[in-house]
C-alpha cells in the first residue's frame, strides 16, 4: 500500500501532515516527496547539496523537483523534530552523503528505529558490511556503530525497511 492510500485509510491527505522527511533522495525512498509539499520538509543539507549537484549520480531529481518550492528546513546532523524526544532524525551517512534514519516513540508500540538503507537485510546488519553501491563504506560502518549504540540505549525495535519477511510481520499504518 502506498503512502497516499495509507493516509486516505485514516482520512488524511498530504496537506494534513505538518512535517515530512525522507531518509535520502533515492527514488525508492523519495518518490512520494512531491505529495508533501505543504509540509515542513526536513532534509539533511548534505543530502540536498549532493542530490542537486551538477555531477550527481544515481538520483533523478525530476521525481521530487517540487521540493525546490517546498518549505525546506535543512538540518546538519541529528535533529529532535519536536524538541521532546518523540521523533528524532539521526544522521547516518554512508549509503548517501546525507542519509538519515528515524526513531519514533509510540504509545502502543514503544520506540521504533526505521533503518532506511543503513541495513538492507538482517545479514547486512549481522555481518556489518557496507554494500558496494554505498557512497562511502567507512561512513556506513561508522553509522552502523552509532545506530547499534542507539538501539541499546533506547531499547528501540529496529525495522529494516528492505527486509520483506520482517516487514510482513510488523504493524503499519493505519493499524498503528
- pLDDT score at 80: 98
As assigned by CATH, the class of the 3-167 domain is alpha beta
- pLDDT score at 126: 93
Q: Which of 108, 120, 107 is nearest to 158 (CA)?
A: 120
Give backbone dihedrals phi and psi of 90, rounded to 5 degrees, phi first.
-115, 120
- Tell me which of 94 and 124 has the higher pLDDT: 94
Distance CA 22, CA 63 (A): 13
Say what the pTM is: 0.90
What are the boundaries of each domain within the chain? 3-167
pLDDT in tens, 48-59: 998 888 776 656
> Quick one: average pLDDT of 33-54?
89
pLDDT in tens, 57-103: 656 677 777 888 889 999 999 999 999 999 999 999 999 999 999 99
Amino acid at each position: 500500500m502506498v503512502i497516499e492510500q495509507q493516509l486516505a485509510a485514516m482520512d488524511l491527505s498530504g496537506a494534513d501532515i505538518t512535517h515530512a522527511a525522507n531518509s535520502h533522495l533515492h527514488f525508492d525512498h523519495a518518490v512520494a516527496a512531491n505529495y508533501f509539499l505543504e509540509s515542513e520538509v526536513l532534509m539533511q543539507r548534505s543530502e540536498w547539496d549532493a542530490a542537486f549537484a551538477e555531477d550527481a549520480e544515481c538520483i533523478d531529481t525530476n521525481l521530487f523537483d517540487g521540493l525546490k518550492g517546498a518549505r525546506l528546513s535543512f538540518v546538519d546532523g541529528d535533529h529532535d523534530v519536536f524538541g521532546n524526544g518523540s521523533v528524532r532524525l539521526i544522521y547516518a551517512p554512508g549509503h548517501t552523503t546525507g542519509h538519515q534514519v528515524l526513531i519514533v516513540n509510540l504509545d502502543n508500540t514503544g520506540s521504533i528505529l526505521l533503518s532506511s538503507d543503513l541495513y538492507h537485510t538482517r545479514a547486512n546488519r549481522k555481518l556489518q558490511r557496507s554494500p558496494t553501491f554505498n557512497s562511502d563504506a567507512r561512513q556506513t560502518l561508522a553509522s552502523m556503530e552509532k545506530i547499534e549504540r542507539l538501539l541499546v540505549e533506547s531499547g528501540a525495535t529496529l525495522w529494516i525497511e528492505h527486509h520483506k519477511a520482517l516487514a510482513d510481520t510488523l504493524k503499519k499504518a493505519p493499524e498503528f
